[in-house]
C-alpha cells in the first residue's frame, strides 16, 4: 500500500485547526503536532500511487492555513516491533 509522510508548516498558531481538518481527509492515517522545523507530520496511505499523489496534492496541501509541505514517499517498510 503506497504510504507517504507529509511534513507540514502551518500559519502561526493554527496547528490545532489544521490537525482537525486533517482528520477529515480520507487517506490520512495519523497526524501529529511536533516541535521543530515543521508543525505537523501526517502519514497518508492510499490504494494506488496515483491516489496517494492526489490526496497529498489536492486535499492535504490545499487545506486552509497550510503554508508549505514536504512529502516523503515510503520505499520500504519494516512491520512489527523489532527489538
What CATH number should be reported for the domain holding residue 21? Answer: 3.30.70.920
8 A C-beta contact, residue 67 and residue 15: no
**Nearest-angstrom CA–CA distance, 31 and 74:** 16
| Domain hosting residue 41, numbered range | 3-73
pTM: 0.90
Domain count, the chain: 1
Residue 79 has a pLDDT of: 78
Return the biggest CA–CA distance within the chain. Answer: 40
Cell of 82: 523489532
| pLDDT at residue 24 greater than cutoff 90 | yes
Mean pLDDT along residues 9-14: 97
Is the pLDDT at 82 greater than 70? The verdict is no
* Mean pLDDT of the 44-64 span: 97
Edge-first strand listing for the sheet containing 40-45: 28-33, 40-45, 3-10, 66-73
Amino acid at each position: 500500500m503506497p504510504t507517504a509522510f507529509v511534513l507540514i508548516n502551518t500559519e502561526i498558531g493554527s496547528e490545532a485547526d489544521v490537525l482537525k481538518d486533517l482528520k477529515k481527509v480520507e487517506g490520512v492515517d495519523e497526524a501529529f503536532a511536533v516541535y521543530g522545523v515543521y508543525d505537523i507530520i501526517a502519514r497518508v496511505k492510499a490504494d494506488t500511487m496515483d491516489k496517494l499523489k492526489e490526496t497529498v496534492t489536492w486535499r492535504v496541501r490545499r487545506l486552509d492555513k497550510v503554508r508549505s509541505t514536504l512529502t516523503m514517499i515510503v520505499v520500504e517498510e519494516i512491520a512489527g516491533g523489532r527489538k
